[in-house]
Structure 1
């Protein structure tokens, strides 16, 4: 029977290999898109064989899902640091909005797939993206609750519903940035004017 230390070391090595595969896939997808990427391309870039990719992650679609999921988790980790940086709830709302919209708008993989392969990406963000959307709603709700607790402020009624409405607005802004509202020059001002009242009004 392997010792706990050996088991832990094996798990660390396994995690390192998976991270290498996802790093390689992210670069490969960003350079040539998903459609032109093969498991062999990813394996070669990661320095492993194709069987390892299949065993650790799965098919190409599984790799896409794994890469997307990791990018979402990285963003959520970044958002978790925001409450400590903002003195008011309005500033926190603006910080969350600016961070989310900016990260997704400028993400190289998202930019390339929206431009060249929207049929592959859009289902993951719309009809097939329920899991990611619900995760975003739950994480944002907890962020705001944490900010309220830290500032000893009462929680507005139906906060979870309000957050979901706000997340739907953010989702729309990411997918369709073009409109009559100027969202290029001051995202923070838009958030303070339109989203903060939605989330904080009593």
Structure 2
């Protein structure tokens, strides 16, 4: 029993240490961008030595990926609870779309990176972004399955495909936010979702 307790405590401590490192990396990335952030900066911000950062997370690129994955996972967890809050699939899709787009548009790290090193964002969301994108598609499909369980959507064997199409639209809006269709306000985003994404989700 004592051994098990110590092991559990050790895992908790390890998780807390990694959280501190990722929190510190997020602060640094939002402040000066990735290119100007060093492992030493992150270690100092987290109150640990640089060896600990390398051992717990890895290189600077590993830090970027870990921070992005954590931020995406946090958002997806929030989205998973949305089906229970709505009475129609139209409202659910609009809520998800507005939440995701506005969250990334106003995220301090994403804003900083898009402003000073957009090429890195493009790499992380395209060439190096297969795992993150797959996670988003799977989570979106799971949310649609929950919508089916809540009676908001008819069941179908292609929910994963519909989820991927919606995710690709969101993906493109993050990479290329400027276009001919005005999508700045929440109301404009919601109207776009109701008119163009709901039909995709309904199938």
TM-score band, normalised by shorter chain: over 0.9
| Residue pair 2:38, 2:60 contacting (<8 A) in 1 also | yes
Moved over 4 A (4+): none
Unaligned regions of 5+ residues in structure 1, if any?
Answer: none
- Asked if 1:137 is matched to 2:137, the reply is yes
User: What does 1:1-202 correspond to in 2, within 5 Å?
Assistant: 3-151=3-151, 153-156=153-156, 158-185=158-185, 186-201=188-203
The alignment partner of 1:22 has SS state of helix
- CA distance, structure 2, for counterparts of residue 159 and residue 77 of structure 1: 19
Unaligned regions of 5+ residues in structure 2, if any?
Answer: none
Query: Deviation per CA, 1:130-188, whole angstroms, max 9, x where unpaired?
Result: 11111111110110111111127421452221221111111111111111111113211
Query: Deviation per CA, 1:17-63, whole angstroms, max 9, x where unpaired?
Result: 11001001100111111111111111111011111111111111111
Number of equivalent positions: 201
| Residue pair 1:28, 1:42 contacting (<8 A) in 2 also | yes
- CA distance, structure 2, for counterparts of residue 97 and residue 167 of structure 1: 9
TM-score of the pair, normalised by structure 1: 0.95
- CA distance, structure 1, for counterparts of residue 195 and residue 45 of structure 2: 46
- CA distance, structure 1, for counterparts of residue 2 and residue 62 of structure 2: 30
| Residue pair 1:156, 1:199 contacting (<8 A) in 2 also | no
Aligned-pair RMSD on alpha carbons?
A: 1.5
- CA distance, structure 2, for counterparts of residue 57 and residue 152 of structure 1: 41
| Residue pair 1:89, 1:148 contacting (<8 A) in 2 also | no
